[in-house]
């Protein structure tokens, strides 16, 4: 059990990919010591726990950092596509995808895994539901992403 396990809603997807809520400032050096090499933050600067110095915290720890703020009330297909393009070349190094509570991050990671790694949409949706219940705005984004790939949203309440 390491530092990562103490981060809000932390989920180890596999040995190289994890998603979580916002790490604390003191977590970044520990994450690097646990082998993380890349961090992407999908939260905005208005999100709970936002750390304006996160780029510097990651740099000091020897990790790459990318900030891709996704508006909570208006996530866009372009946001997901930018994330997908960012993650693809980093899939061979230990990467943390995070936001404030692992809501944006868990959905983006699940959708990525469906489109790029062949995870069944039903299984991906079940993984998301272990963290949160997406509202209509986020269900619509998931539906748009999956529809573009010719896949249905595996949620009967959408």
CATH number of 92's domain: 3.90.190.10
CB 80 within 8 A of CB 111: yes
Does 155 fall in a domain?
Answer: no
Give the domain range for residue 123.
Answer: 3-148
Q: Look up residue 29 and give its two tokens.
A: 């050096």
pLDDT tens, 100-114?
999 999 999 999 999
Measure the CA–CA gap between 144 and 115, rounded to whole angstroms. 13
pTM (two decimals):
0.95
Does 27 fall in a domain?
Answer: yes
How many domains are there within the chain? Answer: 1
Does 158 fall in a domain?
Answer: no
Q: What is the pLDDT along the chain (158 residues), one digit of tens a residue?
A: 467 778 999 999 999 999 999 999 999 999 999 999 999 999 999 999 999 999 999 999 999 999 999 999 999 999 999 999 999 999 999 999 999 999 999 999 999 999 999 999 999 999 999 999 999 999 999 999 999 999 987 754 44
Does 135 fall in a domain?
Answer: yes
DSSP string for the chain: --GGGGSTT-EEEETTEEEEBPPPTTHHHHHHHTT--EEEE-S-TTSTT--TTHHHHHHHHT-EEEE----TT---HHHHHHHHHHHGGGTTS-EEEE-SBSSHHHHHHHHHHHHHH---HHHHHHHHHTT----HHHHHHHHHHHHHTT---S-TT-
The separation between CA 58 and the C-alpha centre of its own chain, rounded to angstroms, equals: 17
Does 82 fall in a domain?
Answer: yes
Does 104 fall in a domain?
Answer: yes
Does 154 fall in a domain?
Answer: no
Measure the CA–CA gap between 128 and 130, rounded to whole angstroms. 5
Does 40 fall in a domain?
Answer: yes
């Amino acid at each position: 059990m390491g530092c990562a396990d103490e981060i809000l809603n932390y989920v180890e997807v596999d040995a190289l990919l994890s998603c979580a809520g916002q790490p604390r400032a003191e977590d970044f050096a520990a994450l690097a010591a646990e082998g993380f090499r890349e961090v992407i933050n999908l939260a905005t600067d208005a999100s709970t726990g936002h750390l304006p110095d996160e780029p510097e915290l990651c740099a000091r720890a020897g990790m790459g950092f990318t900030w891709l703020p996704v508006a909570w009330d208006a996530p866009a297909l372009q946001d997901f596509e930018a994330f997908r393009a960012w993650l693809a070349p980093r899939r061979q190094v230990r990467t943390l995808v995070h936001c404030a509570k692992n809501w944006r991050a868990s959905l983006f990671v699940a959708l990525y895994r469906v489109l790029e790694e062949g995870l069944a949409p039903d299984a991906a949706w079940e993984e998301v539901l272990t963290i949160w219940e997406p509202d209509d705005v986020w269900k619509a984004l998931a539906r748009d992403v999956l529809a573009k790939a010719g896949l249905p949203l595996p949620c009967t309440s959408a």
